[in-house]
Amino acid sequence: MVYCAPVPEAKDEMTLWLVTFESPAVGCLSHHRLFGQQWAVEGHILKWDDWLNFLGIRTMYKLTRVRGRYLRAEEEAVKPATAYSLIENEEDPNWRWLYEYGARLPFVTAVYGNTVFTFPSETKIFRISVTTSGFMIEEGDKQ
């Protein structure tokens, strides 16, 4: 779950709260100050062959980073960048190995990085979920 709101009186600044769930009852809260017009969440995806989904084997993922994002590439190059790691080991050898050899494994369709991003909002809460092809953002009203 993400709540991200613009910082009042500040151009291209936002505050993001991210709750990641280890289980339905256990969550972890992190808080980040980001620069840009949009917020982004990034991570790794391991996609299994489609028929395995019918057996209950779901797409594997690992959230790795949150960052601010500018709309224009030119701004990305010259304005302040913000990125925060969500994991201890950003150079995880297991995921690196999967990127290199995963597609050669039986039942693995692809291994890739995935990013979702959208605009901050004072009135919305965003739910990031994992589909069979990667991350997806669903928005709901802040209560």
Q: Output DSSP code: residue 133.
A: S
Could you give the angle at the alpha carbon of 93 between the alpha carbons of 130 and 16, nearest 5°? 45
pLDDT of residue 25: 78
pLDDT of residue 11: 92
Query: The whole model's pTM is what?
Result: 0.89
pLDDT of residue 40: 98
pLDDT of residue 112: 97
102: amino acid identity, one letter: G
pLDDT of residue 35: 98
Cβ atoms within 10 Å, residue 81: 15
Tokens of 5: 């709101």
Q: For residues 34 and 4, give the distance between their C-alpha atoms in angstroms, rounded to a whole number.
A: 9
pLDDT of residue 102: 94
Q: For residues 104 and 109, give the distance between their C-alpha atoms in angstroms, rounded to a whole number.
A: 9
Q: For residues 92 and 63, give the distance between their C-alpha atoms in angstroms, rounded to a whole number.
A: 12
pLDDT of residue 27: 83
pLDDT of residue 38: 97
Mean pLDDT, consecutive 10-residue stretches, the chain (143 aa), reads 94 95 82 97 95 90 96 95 94 95 94 97 95 93 78
